[in-house]
Each structure stands twice: as structure tokens, then as C-alpha cells.
Structure 1
Amino acid sequence: MAVLITPIQVKAQASMASAASILMYHRFGEGKLPSTNIRIEQLEAHIALLTSGPYTVLPLDEVVVALQYGTPLPPNAVVITVDDAYRSFVTEGWPRFKAAGLPVTWFLNTAAVKSGAVGTGGGAPTWDEVRRLRDEGVTFGVHSHAHPHLPTLTPQEQEADLDRALALFEQELGLRPKTFAYPYGEADRAAMDLMAAKGFVAAFGQHSGVAWGGDDRWYLPRFALNEQYGAPDRFRRVIDALPLPATDVMPASPVVRGTPPVYGFTVTQPDLPLDRIACYGPSGKLAAQIVGPRVEVRMGVTPPPGRTRINCTLPGPRTADGIQRWHWRGTQFVVLP
């Protein structure tokens, strides 16, 4: 009997070839701040894996274009991004990435960059240092001006902050970035619509998952790396991860008020064993209701105000050296009073 493939599945299968694990770092070698720091020995282990294994580290802009148009990417495509204006990227992170020939996109919150000509110690970089990295090959994205919690602002306040950041990029670097990373990974529908209206080609959160061509380009996932989540075995799981392709993702906005949301999506890869899917929230494993290709997860109780996440994974094929690969889809919710 012939297997019928719907037009949605055909499009999804084409988009499956456009997928990448996008990494997110913050600080480098700042051990007093482990929640946003990666230790130097961890970073060097990451670079060793990326440069010795079957991975292709690509510029973010190239991957975004592939996601937008469904252009195939190499298997095991990886992107490196860095958030926030921390000088340890200038002094510790970038020299190591540069030596290994790895491209990096730096998402800068412009208010934090110093106006002085010489940077000393830790803290923030100067614009002179940022310009030097631009000239050495670092590409840039916007991470707001004042690093606000965007869902707590009005649309007018969101736009004013973004316009200030864009003006400084043009003034200090002579460029206008085309990608945006939400501060704290927090976004609402107004912020996503603003990114599209301002001509950005993609915007990124801080929720885990492999970015693929069918994702919402205004809320793409990235894998956050720090001391706790930067161990080599976890890093290997991240860069070996596979997309969990889905459409009809709900809710449409990651902002939660009142009733806890039902997180749902329709899987478009028909051969995935959905009976083996596992979803986790802040309180542990969550019950997943599966009807055909549809997966729905209920949080049960409304989490306290702040950020909360749901991650869903299911096993995929093993690598040539026997490492289990995982299809991975996550989301982040912002819980407002």
C-alpha cells in the first residue's frame, strides 16, 4: 500500500535539511558568576570537539538564510553566539575561537559598552575593543539597549529601546545588524512583531532545541551553556541533537497570565516514535497526551512569576561511535502577575 505524504509533510521534510544547533555563551573564565560563565577548560574542550568531530560551524547569518528559504545545511551544523557586553569575550573567548577559525556572532546590549578607548580588568568592553573584533571577523546582532524585560514594556517602550540600540550600532560600528536576541530570552507577541517590522530576519530566545526551517523565525531556540550545562558529555548531546519538527505550536505567545498554558505541537516527521517522547518542566516529568502526530503537555499549576521552560525529547539514531542522539524541542514561558 502506498504511503500518502501531505503537502505539509513534503515542506517539512525539505525544511528538515535546514537545521542547526545554535550555541549561546555569556562570560568566559569568570568563575565567580557560574550561572552565566563557562570555564576556560570547558571552552577549550568544546572547541576541540567542534574542530575534530563531524561538525560544520557556520556563520549565523548563513544559517538564518538557510532556515528562511529551506536551503539544505550540512549535517551537524553548529552556530556560536555570545550574549551581553562582557569584556571576557574580548580577552578570553574570542582569541580562542579566532585561533580555531570558528565564526561567532556577538549580541550586544549597547548601553553596557564603555565609551573609553582602553579597557581594563573585567566588566564591559569599550567601543574601540568592539570595533577591533568587528575588524577581526566577529559579526553582530542586537541584544537591546538597556537589557530590559521586554514583556513588561509597552510596544512604544520596546521600540524606543530598540531604536536607541540601532542608532548606536550605526554610530559606533557603521552597521545595522539583521538579527536580535531577546534579553533573558523573554519575548511577547508585540516584541516579535516589532522585529519583523524593523526588518530583522530572525530573533532568538534562550530555550533549548535545534533550530529548523519550519520554526518561527522570530523566536528561534539556542542552547545555553554555562558551568553547570557546559560539561563535555552535555555539550556533545547538544551538538549531536536533532530537530523535533512541528507545526501548529501553541500557545502563540510565550507569555503566561493566570491559567497555566497547554503546550502543544503537531510533529511533521511521520517516522518518529512519539510513544517514546518525554517532556519535562520545572517540577519534573510532565504527562504528554499524544493523539496521532499531536503532542500536548499540561503544566498542571501556574508557576511563580518569572521564567519557566518545557523541554521535550525523544531518542533518535546513534552516532558512528555509539552516542545516542536526541530529537529536542523546548520553549520558555514568561509568567507575569
Structure 2
Amino acid sequence: MLNRVLWLVSLLMASIASAQAAVILQYHHVSETSPAVTSVSPAQFKQQMQYLHEQQFNVVPLQQVIDAIKSGEQLPANTVAITFDDGYRSIADNAAPILQQYGYPYTLFVAIEPIEKGFGEMMDWQQLKQLAANGATIANHSWGHEHLIRRLDNESEQQWLARVQDNLQRTEAAILQHTGQSVKTLAYPYGEYNTALQQLLQTMGYVALGQQSGAAGTYSELTAIPRFPVAGAYANMASLKIKLRSLNMPVLSQTPTNPELSATQTQPELRVKLDIQDIRTKELICYVQGEQQLPTWIDSQTFIIKSNTPLPAGRSRYNCTAPSKTQSGYYWFSQAWVRPKADGSWVAE
């Protein structure tokens, strides 16, 4: 009888933990004329927002999700936050009216230099100020959308960190000057970060979001909060519906923790320890380089995954999912990697 009670309590605790998860959606363009790989069409975006409305998702400001992660506060089931990177005019023209129709809050991560130089199809400060007045949150995406982890020639780590700190502080000051907002939340440009950058942000009192997939929750690092990119092939409604029901993978520890690899680390071995009380471990599957791989379990809670082939220079991911024992959703975990070329230089973008 006692064992039965303990089992029921464990299931209840697992259900509470997973209910604290939130799905953060990441968009760039909402346009039919921008690059497909970073875009959804206005019709697709309308369909997605309509689905959130019809299915009664709890769409909240990003800050509410961040506060819940910080405090361990329970979030309602099916909580979603909506974010946009870069600040393209298509957001003001095509996305904002749809979001206003449904009363959905959202966060815009903007870089300053592209705005002030009028690059491409960027919004100007007047448009951003108007969106902020209408309820949008404007947040930090670096001064010039730089690859923040990359050092300049002959630059020491101390000099690099000082330069990045100045970059982010100037960006935050500009956002405050033009919109009256300063939430100290960064979206890493290109989703690139490393442990030294995370430590700097923690010291500065910043929260940061990546571009690695997964639900956000109590097991998320506040300087590496996951988001689901929605664009191109990832704008498909069938796959998006699955992601919207995803759960925060209960990662207790992992090795390594640094996403930045050396040029010679072409097949990094990732070791992950999970709280497995609500996870169907036998059904945990990982995806590397677009190929399905089964992990190697070294004990009842810990698995290892390693790419079968060398990772390319640039950005890549290990993605792992596993079904819940008590709910219909999948736990989702993604490890981001970024690696220079063999000669130590970086992939040009």
C-alpha cells in the first residue's frame, strides 16, 4: 500500500513539474517575399495564431515565463510566449495586426545598428515606439547583430568580455531611450553562446534565449532558455502542433555544458542525466544531422549521445525527445553546438 501511495505521489509531482513548462516561439519574417528559411507567410502566421486561440492556449508575455522559471512558480498547461528576432517591418505590417486581433503579447528582439542605418526591411524607431506603446516588449539583440562569441584578432578573453559587455549595455541604453523599456533580456544573435558569455550575462543580471529547440521550464538555464524556431520547413502545422504540446526535459546535469567546440571536436560526446520518473526512457530518441540515433544508457538515469559522423563547421544540434508516462506530450531537449573551421576561422555569414 505504501509503495502505491509513493508511486501516486511521484506521478503527481511529475505532472506538476511538466505543467510548469512553456513553449516559446521564435519568428523572424512574416512575409511572402523574404527568404523562406527564416519566414512564415502572413497566411501561415494567421493560421498559427488562430490555432492558439481555438485550442485555448495560454499566451503570455515572455517576462511571465522568465519570472516563473526564476521562482519555480507553476505555469498553466499549454502556456506559450511569442518572440520575434531582428525587428523586420513585416512584423509591424503583417504580424502585429493579427496579434492585436487576438490580444496576444509578444517580444521583439532588436539590434540597434541595422535600425539606425535603415538596413534592409528593418523597422525604424518610430514604428518600434508605437508597437511598444501598444503593448509589445522591445528587448536586446546586440548592437550590430554580431557573432558575440567570436574574438577579434589578438583579443584576450578579458578584452572580449569587456567589449561584449559594452555592446549589450549600449544596446540596452538605446532601447530605453527610444521606448522607455529595459527588461535586460537578450536573444543571442544566431543562437550562438558559450559558458564564458553566460557567466558574463549572469553577472550583468541578464536573462538570455537561444535558438535550440525545447520547452522552457524549471530545468532551463536562465542564460540559455530554449525556443522553437518557426520558419520554412518548421512552419508546418502538423509538426508545430506537436511542439506546442512539448514538455521541459528534466535534465539534472550534463557534460559538457559549453556549446562552443574547438576545431578538432568534430564528434562531441554528450552525457545527460535525467529525472526519469515521468519519462519513458526506452522510447527516448535523439536526432543528429537529420538522422535518428538511439542513445547509450550507462545507468538508469544517464545516457550518452555522440554523432556518428563529424559535425560541420558552424552551428549544429543534438535533439532528443521522449514521451511522458502521464501526459500526451513529449519531453524535448536540444544541445546547441558551434565550431570553427579546421584552420580556426569561422564560417562566413
TM-score greater than 0.5 by the shorter chain? yes
Contact 2:15/2:326 (<8 A) preserved: no
- How high is the TM-score relative to the length of structure 2? 0.87
Q: Which residue of 2 aligns with 1:215?
A: 220
- Mapping of residues 257-336 of structure 1, within 5 Å: 257=262, 258-259=264-265, 260-282=267-289, 284-290=291-297, 291-316=299-324, 325-336=329-340
Q: Which residue of 2 aligns with 1:125?
A: 123
Answer with 240-249 or 39-48: which moved more.
Answer: 240-249
Q: Deviations over 1:88-145 (max 9, x none)?
A: 11111111111111110111111111478xx9xx701110111000100001221111
Q: Which residue of 2 aligns with 1:235?
A: 240
Contact 1:15/1:214 (<8 A) preserved: no
Contact 2:285/2:292 (<8 A) preserved: yes
Q: Which residue of 2 aligns with 1:179?
A: 185
Q: Which runs of 5+ in 1 are unaligned?
A: none
Q: Deviations over 1:192-238 (max 9, x none)?
A: 112111112x2100011011112211101000000211121112111
Out of 129, 139, 142, the residue aligned to residue 141 of structure 1 is: 139
More strand by share: 1
**Identity rate of aligned residues, in percent?**
28
Contact 1:205/1:221 (<8 A) preserved: yes
Out of 191, 194, 197, the residue aligned to residue 188 of structure 1 is: 194
Supply the distance in 1 between the matched residues of 2:290 and 2:105 (Cα, whole angstroms).
37
Q: Which amino acid in the other structure matches residue 236 of structure 1?
A: K
Supply the distance in 1 between the matched residues of 2:243 and 2:269 (Cα, whole angstroms).
26
Cα deviation for residue 171 of structure 1 reads: 2.1
Cα gap change, 1:41/1:10 in structure 2, threshold over 3 Å: closer, same or farther?
closer
Contact 1:247/1:268 (<8 A) preserved: yes
SS at match of 2:233: coil
Q: Which residue of 2 aligns with 1:244?
A: 249
Cα deviation for residue 272 of structure 1 reads: 1.4
Q: Which amino acid in the other structure matches residue 278 of structure 1?
A: I
Supply the distance in 2 between the matched residues of 1:48 and 1:11 (Cα, whole angstroms).
32
- How high is the TM-score relative to the length of structure 1? 0.90
Structure 1 consecutive aligned stretches of length 4 or more whose deviation exceeds 4 Å: 9-15
Cα deviation for residue 281 of structure 1 reads: 0.8
Q: Which runs of 5+ in 2 are unaligned?
A: 152-159, 345-349
Supply the distance in 1 between the matched residues of 2:232 and 2:308 (Cα, whole angstroms).
31
Contact 1:30/1:39 (<8 A) preserved: yes
SS at match of 2:36: coil
Cα deviation for residue 317 of structure 1 reads: 6.5
- Mapping of residues 68-217 of structure 1, within 5 Å: 68-114=70-116, 123-153=121-151, 154-200=160-206, 202-217=207-222
Contact 1:245/1:267 (<8 A) preserved: yes
Q: Which amino acid in the other structure matches residue 123 of structure 1?
A: E
More helix by share: 2
Count of aligned pairs between the two proteins: 326
Cα gap change, 1:315/1:15 in structure 2, threshold over 3 Å: closer, same or farther?
closer
SS at match of 2:123: coil
Contact 2:172/2:184 (<8 A) preserved: no
Cα gap change, 1:13/1:156 in structure 2, threshold over 3 Å: closer, same or farther?
farther
Contact 2:280/2:325 (<8 A) preserved: no
